[in-house]
Structure 1
């Protein structure tokens, strides 16, 4: 069943994201994921949004998100590319049937 990964980003540095973004997009695609919202600016209708960017991905399942997130490629090669560039909150959620 479809699942979504939401990434909320508070940007610390606008410089240096390009290598991470190029690599992560390919890795996500290899795990069956695709962008739904890419670095969108959120319009707050109620409550607070203490982030600068909102990104949403669709995957075939929660298991596919887990395989991506726990992959050696992502954890050891790609994720370190964003160290110090921002603070991220990342969530995975099952989609509705």
Structure 2
């Protein structure tokens, strides 16, 4: 069941309201993935600043888990204006609450539309269950265990 506060966010609660209280039904993290080509970098910077200023991610427990540009490309060609950005939310309800909020739909999203500042897809994925051998070795935003890669054979010709 959706909490009253979350229901208000789904209807469009203005920025500056309190976040929904922790809920036992909001315990299955999801990842919102935004990827595609940026067509107008300056407008996308304004869009990103508006999201930050609204504090909508913070209100719903969302946070970035990736930077938008790759640190390495192992296969394929990545255009210089291609981005892939991932935001983690505590549950699908909160991701929907962000997307459907009044502040996002009416104040922030228009900053990148008409004409479009980017050709993006926005998808949401469930978090995969942690393998039993990884329990206690990973935490939020970091590994809590040292994974030594010296025992992993490398293909000949791989970057050193």
Normalising by structure 1, report the TM-score.
0.84
- Looking at secondary structure, tell me which structure has more strand per residue: 1
1:76 aligns with 2:106: yes
Structure number, greater radius of gyration: 2
Aligned length: 96
The 3-state SS of whatever aligns with 1:67 is helix
Tell me if the contact between 2:38 and 2:44 (Cα under 8 Å) persists in the aligned partners: no
RMSD in angstroms over aligned alpha carbons?
2.0
Matched with 2:59 is: 30
Q: CA deviation at 1:18?
A: 2.4
**Quick one: higher RCO (CA 8 Å, sep 6+), 1 or 2?**
1
Runs of 4+ with deviation above 4 angstroms: 48-51
1-structure distance, mates of 2:56, 2:46: 13
Gaps of 5+ in 1: none
- Select 2:69's aligned residue among 40, 44, 69: 40
Aligned with 1:65: secondary structure? helix
